[in-house]
Copies of this chain bind each other. A is one copy, B any other.
């Protein structure tokens, strides 16, 4: 294998999966990376992604990627393991942050890669005679380790067309402005509910450019479908959790630049009775 020139310092593998904390999956991958690249550090990004939930894994990685330094992203949420889906590795365009990504070709890596300038060159990792149920250990971890110690991407497998990589459908977001702008609404899907119960939406502050700065009306349910599951309730736009009274629903810009529905020291997700994939309507006007 051919080394890249000029690699100066031990690198980092940033590792995300749906392996959970109970079993030895994560630990074994750490051990495999250490065997293949003894000087590489492994930083666990998250392993609590719901099992088989590629979209949740992709959203998690997208939220984290701008905060990572130089290194290799290794991500495994892989319901198609052992089947015809390809395993891939690629380099992204951004000069700073993680330069290489390794994982299944099922869309998991792409939202994060897009934030890092998009895919510049991609290869397929070809499973030889290794077993087919634990690619994370047997195929992906060795590749990430190799990249972290300076092995050239092109020496790891045949080139593939980066335009042909799988992509997930983007989360649903509907923008609607009526009555010459005096009233309007957006409908956004819930992309994440964190440990604190904050409900992150597939919407950003700019999507509410036409809305007033005070309170909006929130409803849970599909905008174009049957009657909403619960009645409209006010939600107040605030800058921080502490601006809210106890039990008052708030809407703030979270640490990732998304809109999030929150309560102060309580779970907005439980209060609204929603989970990831639910749709939230935010409306204003007479």
- A: residues with CB less than 8 A from B are 9, 12, 14, 16, 18-28, 30-32, 34-35, 38, 41, 43-48, 51-52, 60, 63-64, 67-69, 79-84, 131-134, 137-138, 194-196, 239-243, 252-255, 264-265
Minimum CB–CB distance from A109 to chain B (whole Å) comes to: 15
Could you tell me the dominant secondary structure of chain A's interface residues? Answer: loop
- Asked if A80 contacts B242 (CB within 8 A), the reply is yes
* Copies of this chain in the oligomer: 3
Residue of chain B at shortest CB distance from A66: B28
Q: Which residues of B contact A196 (CB under 8 A)?
A: 51-52
CA distance A43 to B68 in the complex (A): 18
CA distance A137 to B68 in the complex (A): 12
- Asked if B24 contacts A16 (CB within 8 A), the reply is yes
Q: Which residues of B contact A138 (CB under 8 A)?
A: 255
CA distance A60 to B24 in the complex (A): 7
- Asked if A44 contacts B64 (CB within 8 A), the reply is no
Q: Which residues of B contact A79 (CB under 8 A)?
A: 241, 264-265
- Asked if A133 contacts B252 (CB within 8 A), the reply is yes
- Asked if B67 contacts A45 (CB within 8 A), the reply is no
